[in-house]
Homo-oligomer: A and B are copies of this chain.
Amino acid sequence: MHIALDAMGSDDFPKPDVEGAVLAAREYGDAIILVGDETLINAELKKYDTANLKLSVVHAPQAVSMEDKPATVGKEKPESSMAIGMTLVKSGQADAFVTAGNTGAALAIATLYTLKRIEGVKRPALSAIIPSIGSGVTLLDVGANADSKADWLLQFAIMGRIFSKNALGIQNPRVGLLSNGEEEGKGNELIREAATLLKSANLNFVGNVEPKDLLKDQVDVVVADGFVGNILIKSLEAATSMLTSQIRKELMHDLPSKIGGLLSKPAFERVRKQIDPFEIGARHFWGLMGL
């Protein structure tokens, strides 16, 4: 596989981006194409032993910042590392593009200027994988569309199902609709309308699901409006991060707690690994003519 990686994406670019490229090339043997300022990238690459690694550099004279407006950045920075990286995917030189940068800008550049939508797809959607007892729940949309329509949610379900089946290996993914109650008829207007569409589609639709169902083995694909899906993942992140920091604090409170904390460190480490995706999980963007 050839992966185009935005070398100008992270806050401390190109340091962590280049380090990640080296690690990925070493661990997976895939070809990584670093896209960005070639002088900066090459200076960073010199710090590593890159012999036998499939690493290459494609120069991009511009970089997207967190301050760039998604609505205008595609026009203002036509030669950004994001635009050039996605163009590599479009031309077939890369199989996928990865960035740690401005999500809104990446979505806009992908949708309007480079990869563009698959014919028939009304709105591309951003997905997250939520850790659960099973193989992980695919939640979409988690932020690309803050005001969704019912027929978009139906398409999100179809796209999520394809991903869950082909990438996560789930034979017949159970599709749920995020709502404020499991009973039929619960939800807001959008959810009730989407439920009707999902029921008559040829999907393994299990009905409304609540946030708790995402953390058990109850459902494989969960569909939500982008605003609500975003609030959900941010709430899960906030609760787990608050809870772990409170536990850490209380475990320093007195000597028995400190000893207890030391003894149970491997147990905490195992829990931390299970919830890691809440904090570090990448998002996938679906519905485009390229990954």
User: Residues on A close to B: CB < 8 A?
Assistant: 143, 146-147, 178, 180, 187-189, 191, 210-212, 214-215, 225-228, 230-232, 234-244, 246-247, 250-251, 253-254, 256-257, 259-268, 270-271, 274-275, 278
Contact = CB atoms under 8 A, between A and B. Distances in A.
Contacts of A250: 264, 267-268, 270-271
Contact of A239 (B180, B215, B227, B256): B215
Contact of A246 (B242, B251, B274): B274
Contacts of A270: 250, 253
Contacts of A274: 246
A142 B215 CA distance: 21
Contact of A261 (B215, B244, B260): B260
Given A180-B226, A191-B227, 12 more contacts: A146-B180, A146-B187, A147-B189, A180-B234, A211-B235, A239-B240, A243-B275, A246-B274, A250-B264, A256-B263, A257-B263, A257-B266
Nearest to A214: B238
A232 B233 CA distance: 9
A234 B263 CA distance: 32
Copies in the complex: 2
Given A211-B231, A267-B253, A243 B241 contact: no
3 smallest A-B Cβ distances: which pairs? A260-B263, A260-B264, A235-B235
A251 B238 CA distance: 23
A26 B82 CA distance: 67
Contacts of A261: 260, 264, 267
A271 B270 CA distance: 20
A254 B264 CA distance: 9
Contacts of A239: 211, 215, 235-236, 239-240, 243, 278
B211 A180 contact: no
Nearest to A247: B271
A180 B231 contact: yes
Given A146-B180, A267-B257, A268-B250, A232 B235 contact: yes
A226 to B, nearest CB: 8
A178 B275 CA distance: 24
